[in-house]
Amino acid sequence: MPDSKMDETKKKKKKTAECCGYPISIFFIVVNEFCERFSYYGMRAVLVLYFRYFLLWDDDLATSIYHAFVALCYLTPILGAIIADSWLGKFKTIIYLSIVYAVGQVVMAVSTIHDITDANRDGTPDNFTLHIALSMLGLVLIALGTGGIKPCVAAFGGDQFQEHQSRQLNTFFSVFYLCINAGSLLSTLITPVLRAQECGIHTQQQCYPLAFGVPAALMVVSLVVFIAGSGMYTKTAPEGNIMGSVCKCIWFALNNRFRHRSDIYPKREHWMDWAEEKYDKLLIAQIKMVLKVLFLYIPLPMFWTLFDQKGSRWTLQATTMTGDFGGFVLQPDQMQTVNPILILTLVPIMDRIIFPLIKKCGLNFSPLKRMTVGMLFAATAFIAAALVQMEIDKTLPNFPSSSESQLKVVNMHSESLIVTVPSQEPLLIGSFESSPDYITFDQQDIRLAFNTTPEINKDLSLIKGSRQTLIIPSEPAEMYLKEDIKSKPKEGKNAVRFVNGWTAYLNITNLESSLQPSETSNYTLVSQGMRKFTLTDGIQSCEFSRKFGFGSSYTFLIPSDLFSTDCESIKEIEDMQPNSVHMALQIPQYFLITTGEVMFSVTGLQFSYSQAPKNMKSVLQAGWLCTNAVGNIIVLIVAELGKLPKQWAEYVLFASLLVAVSIIFSIMAYFYTYIDPAEIEAEILKQQETDPDKKKKKETLEMEEKENEQEIKQTKI
Ligand SMILES: C[C@H](N)C(=O)N[C@@H](CCCCN)C(=O)O
């Protein structure tokens, strides 16, 4: 927008109602942002677990779709900025896109109701295609909404301030950032708790509808709050399609340069100077400033590649750890709250203590240096994550490879048995006991010998890549194989099953059906904490309680004296140890990545603002957010191409890539000279005033172009 027009807009700004020097309207904007960020981060906190455990996608697909969604959220700001600047203005853009956003959240919440397709009432959806289609539609609408309003809301907040309120404007931006993190903190604490509840019409399942429904409700609240402030806002008219002008000017410069590629034309200082024939010197200078910063942005996506894995890989890592903090139990997806908690404490500490201290020591800790250090912190965070992963790997059971088979023997016979197993010492298995651990075989067909009278020889055909248990009931000749789980139970839950050694059928709470004598139940999943099972044969009953940790698996052996011992004689066989590495071990990696975020993200945001000409702040904002989108696309590419067999190795790979990129960035930063865009703009305007030929030059060029167009038309006719 020409400056004269901009001044007019400023003059036209109506005097707004104030409280303590602040426009009252910003209260609505800050509350709106808090609710919107609650909605966004709340939904994001449980998203990867929804993909993994509701839609039953594997870790890689869940991670890929999660990052594709985040990438889309950071690509759509460009669209939002264009709509606001050239068509609807910020106010209407925020309202319309917030409606799209709220609809998306509602569609997403509906997609998580398993009962809508669970016709056979077994607790799992029958029509996954419908759930996937609904959730993808919901996510696209959410991405359009959240990304579209992102470059508008903060700028709209800024528009509310008068020129004399520059101090209050700075405070507003700090409060705005804190609100983002307060919203994020509360939602990442609350939504995982909602998810962990059980709900449903026909069967009780993890309450994803509530976990996604509350963020949807908050988005509606956000919209209502924003509309409520409607009468108090200063609404500036759309500034004109600045992105369009920038693109046209660049296109013209490139074309003009190409047309004059011959050596007979004198060289120009910068390739953008080839737009001088048609475009304002001011616009060209502004584009040069923007391009200089955009060039510097090239290595930045790698930071976001690592940063945004907090919500995917790190959350999945937490599901293989224990979250028992004594007084309270933390869910794996709640670990992400460590980030906003640290932001709320680290931002003031850095701003008030660390950065001033560094300055006092005479060190020039320039914004670009801070960003480089931020990248190195993020790389160190991934090394910490790799070390934690190595600790977890040590505690994981030795699962069979695709060519191996594993077998355990459980003796429900009233006497001890000696079992002869190929290439093993004979095993002595007591009554109601099992072989010490799974025995691994390279072959599938094996023969076992039992010292019963008469002796039994049993030929077994094991399943490749599987874990199985051979159950020897009270009548050993009726022994049978039962397939076991071969990975950690989902969401840090515990898998339990019962073998019925009682003489009649048994009903056990939580089990799908009653258990016949000598039968082994399928696994049932139970959450961490004290769990109670009631066993009854229809006449007698007793209760069996046990405290569970995270990620374990047990087979409970029910003896024939069950009711006379009041369930106390039930024996347990531990098939899989509970997770033993504590989630607290993730705190160092969260601390390092958040320190990196403060140095990189907060500084980067300020840097983008300070180096952008005043009418192109939204262009650079969209560019800055785009680095985030590209970062998430890189996760997809590296995760797909890399496919490293060990998770810790993938963490080390990402850390190494970021170190390499931070070295390149530091070299680029070394050659960057900081500018004061306002000063440059003022200088050019002054020069232009003393250039009477300027207007004439432009008019002549426009005439020439029109004549050319007409000539082309006539030639065609
Ligand atoms: C919650 C997180 N710590 C945060 O502050 N997020 C901000 C900035 C995200 C920057 C992405 N380029 C947000 O606006 O959500």
Angle at CA of residue 588, ends 587 and 592, nearest 5°: 115
Q: How confident is the model at residue 361 (pLDDT cuts 50, 70, 90)?
A: very high
Q: How confident is residue 703, by pLDDT bands cut at 50, 70 and 90?
A: low
Residue located nearest, by CA, to atom 14 of ligand 1:
180
Pick 534 or 239 by higher pLDDT. 534
The alpha helices in 559-601, defined as continuous H runs, are 587-597
If you average pLDDT over residues 209-224, what whole number do you get? 98
Provide mean pLDDT across the span 440-463: 92
Hey, what's the torsion of the CAs at 353, 355, 357, 359, to 10 degrees?
-150
pLDDT of residue 459: 94
Using alpha carbons, select from 301, 300, 368, 282 the residue that is nearest to residue 610. Answer: 368
CA of 53 to the centre of ligand 1 (A): 27
Phi, psi torsion values for 495, nearest 5 degrees: -100, 125
Question: 712 pLDDT band (50/70/90 cuts)?
Answer: low
pLDDT of 699 over the 70 cut: no
Same fold, 16-240 and 280-396+580-668: yes
Query: What local confidence, expressed as pLDDT, does residue 10 receive?
Result: 43
Atom of ligand 1 at shortest range from CA of 177:
5
* Residue 635 confidence class, pLDDT cut points 50, 70, 90: confident
- For residue 155 the two structure tokens come to 């700028």
Sequence-distant (≥ 6) Cβ neighbours of residue 135 within 8 angstroms: 50, 55, 107, 108, 111, 112
Residue bearing the bigger pLDDT, 124 or 695: 124
Indicate the helix (H) or strand (E) that contains 264: none
Closest ligand 1 atom to Cα of 185: 1
Ligand 1, residues 73, 181, 600, 605: which to mutate, most atoms within 8 A of Cβ?
181
> Which residue's CA is the closest to the ligand 1 atom numbered 4?
181
CA of 340 to the centre of ligand 1 (A): 9
Q: Where are the alpha helices (DSSP H) in 260-366?
A: 281-297, 301-307, 313-318, 338-349, 355-360
pLDDT at residue 15, rounded to an integer: 62
Distance from the alpha carbon of residue 37 to the mean position of ligand 1, in angstroms:
9
**Centre of ligand 1 from the C-alpha of residue 710, in Å:** 52
Residue of the nearest CA to atom 1 in ligand 1?
Answer: 181
Question: From the CA of 78, how far away is ligand 1's center (Å)?
Answer: 17
Per-residue pLDDT of 299-315, as tens digits, reads 999 999 999 998 889 98
What average pLDDT does the segment 610-639 reach?
A: 84
Average pLDDT over residues 443-451: 92
State ipTM: 0.97
CA of 388 to the centre of ligand 1 (A): 25
Q: Tell me which residue has its CA closest to atom 5 in ligand 1.
A: 181
Of 484, 489, 480, the residue nearest 465 (C-alpha): 484
pLDDT at 509: 85
Q: Taken in order 229, 232, 233, 236, is the CA torsion positive or negative? A: positive
What is the Å distance from ligand 1's center to 276 Cα? 39
Closest Cα to atom 10 of ligand 1: 601
Query: Using an 8 Å Cβ cutoff, are 90 and 160 in contact?
Result: no
Q: What is the mean pLDDT of residues 59-82?
A: 91
Q: What is the CA radius of gyration of the chain?
A: 33
Q: What residue owns the CA closest to ligand 1's atom 7?
A: 180
Q: What are phi and psi of 188, to 5 degrees?
A: -75, -20
Centre of ligand 1 from the C-alpha of residue 684, in Å: 36
Sign of torsion over alpha carbons 671, 677, 682, 686: positive
Return the closest-CA partner of residue 167 out of 29, 30, 20, 31: 20
| Out of 177-191, 442-456, 683-697, least confident range | 683-697
Cite the DSSP H helix spans in 59-88: 59-75, 77-83
Mean pLDDT score, 265-275: 92
- In the predicted structure, residue 41 carries a pLDDT above the cut 60: yes
Pairing between β-strand 205-206 and β-strand 198-199 as defined by DSSP bridges: antiparallel
Q: Indicate the domain borders of the chain.
A: 16-240, 280-396+580-668, 405-576
pLDDT at 273 over 90: yes
Residue 326 — very low, low, confident or very high, per pLDDT cuts 50/70/90? Answer: confident
pLDDT score, position 25: 95
- Check residue 543 and give its pLDDT: 94
pLDDT for the residue numbered 4? 40
pLDDT value, residue 693:
58
> Count of alpha carbons within 13 Å of 583, Cβ hemisphere only?
27
More confident residue, 618 or 366: 366
Q: Any bridge partners for residue 507, and if so which?
A: 536
Ligand 1 center from residue 80 Cα (angstroms): 18
Return the best residue to mutate from 30, 152, 184, 605 for the ligand 1 pocket (most ligand atoms within 8 A of CB): 184
Protein residue with its CA nearest to atom 8 in ligand 1: 601
**Closest residue by CA, ligand 1 atom 15:** 180
**CA gap 368, 694 in Å, rounded:** 37
8 A C-beta contact, residue 54 and residue 64: no
- Mutating to test ligand 1, I would choose from 601, 602, 607 the residue with most ligand atoms within 8 A of its C-beta, which is 601
Per-residue pLDDT band at 327 (split at 50, 70, 90): confident
**pLDDT for res 8:** 40
In contact, 258 and 635? CB cutoff 8 Å: no
Can you spell out the DSSP letters for 85-110?
IIIIHHHHHHHHHHHHHHHHHHHHHH
Q: What is the pLDDT of residues 650-664, one digit of tens each?
A: 999 999 999 999 999
DSSP string, 107-134: HHHHHT-GGGT-TT-SSS-S-HHHHHHH
Measure the CA–CA gap between 62 and 139, rounded to whole angstroms.
Answer: 14
Percentage above 90 pLDDT, the chain: 62
Range from 227-231, 480-484, 713-717 carrying the lowest mean pLDDT: 713-717
**In Å, how far are 402, 503, 520, 558 from 474, measured between CA atoms?**
33, 10, 13, 12
Percent of the chain with pLDDT over 70: 94
Measured from the CA of 628, which atom of ligand 1 is nearest? 12
What is the pLDDT, as a whole number, of residue 9? Answer: 43
The arithmetic mean of pLDDT across residues 72-82, rounded, is 92
Inter-residue contact 675 to 608 (CB < 8 Å): no
The CATH fold of domain 16-240: Growth Hormone; Chain: A; (1.20.1250)
Give residue 8's identity as a one-letter amino acid code: E
Q: In this predicted structure, what is the pLDDT of residue 696?
A: 56
Amino acid at 362: G
> Mean pLDDT for the chain?
89
User: Cα 528 to chain center, whole Å?
Assistant: 25
Kind and range of the H or E run holding 609: helix 603-610
Q: Does the pLDDT of residue 636 top 90, yes or no?
A: no
| Ligand 1 pocket residues where CB is under 6 Å | 37, 180-181, 184, 339-340, 343, 597, 601, 625, 628
Q: 244 C-alpha to center of ligand 1: Å?
A: 28
Closest atom of ligand 1 to CA, residue 594: 3
The confidence score (pLDDT) of residue 491 equals: 78
Atom 9, ligand 1: residue with shortest CA distance? 601
For ligand 1, the distance from its centroid to the CA atom of residue 591, given in whole angstroms, is: 16
Distance 192 CA to ligand 1 centre (A): 19
Average confidence (pLDDT) over 585-605? 93
Please state the rounded mean pLDDT for residues 73-96.
Answer: 90
Which of 33, 34, 180, 606 for mutating ligand 1's site (highest number of atoms within 8 Å of CB)? 180
Which residue's CA is minimally distant from atom 3 of ligand 1?
340
CATH superfamily of 280-396+580-668: MFS general substrate transporter like domains (1.20.1250.20)
CA of 343, closest atom in ligand 1 = 3
Q: Can you read off the two tokens belonging to residue 410?
A: 């459980």
Q: How far is the CA of 510 from the centre of ligand 1 (A)?
A: 42
Query: What is the pLDDT at residue 701?
Result: 53
Report the separation in Å between the CA atom of 602 and the middle of ligand 1, taken as the mean of its atom positions.
9
- C-alpha angle with apex 571: 570 to 577, nearest 5 degrees? 130
What integer pLDDT is reported at residue 241 of this predicted model?
A: 78
44/635: higher pLDDT:
44
Query: 352 CA to middle of ligand 1, Å?
Result: 21
Q: Which atom of ligand 1 is nearest to the CA of 597?
A: 3
Q: Look at residue 38 and tell me whether its pLDDT is greater than 50.
A: yes
E-assigned strand segments in 453-540: 456-461, 467-472, 480-483, 494-500, 507-508, 524-526, 529-536
- d(CA 601, ligand 1 centre) in Å: 8
Q: What is the pLDDT of residues 386-443, one digit of tens each?
A: 999 999 999 988 899 889 999 999 999 999 999 998 888 899 999 999 998 899 999 9
Atom of ligand 1 nearest to the CA of 37: 15
Ligand 1: which residue has its CA nearest to atom 13?
Answer: 180
**Tens digit of each residue's pLDDT (9 = 90 or more) over 544-554:** 999 999 999 99
Instruction: Give the β-pairing of 553-558 and 494-500.
Output: parallel
Question: Residue 545 has what pLDDT?
Answer: 93
pLDDT at 591 over 60: yes
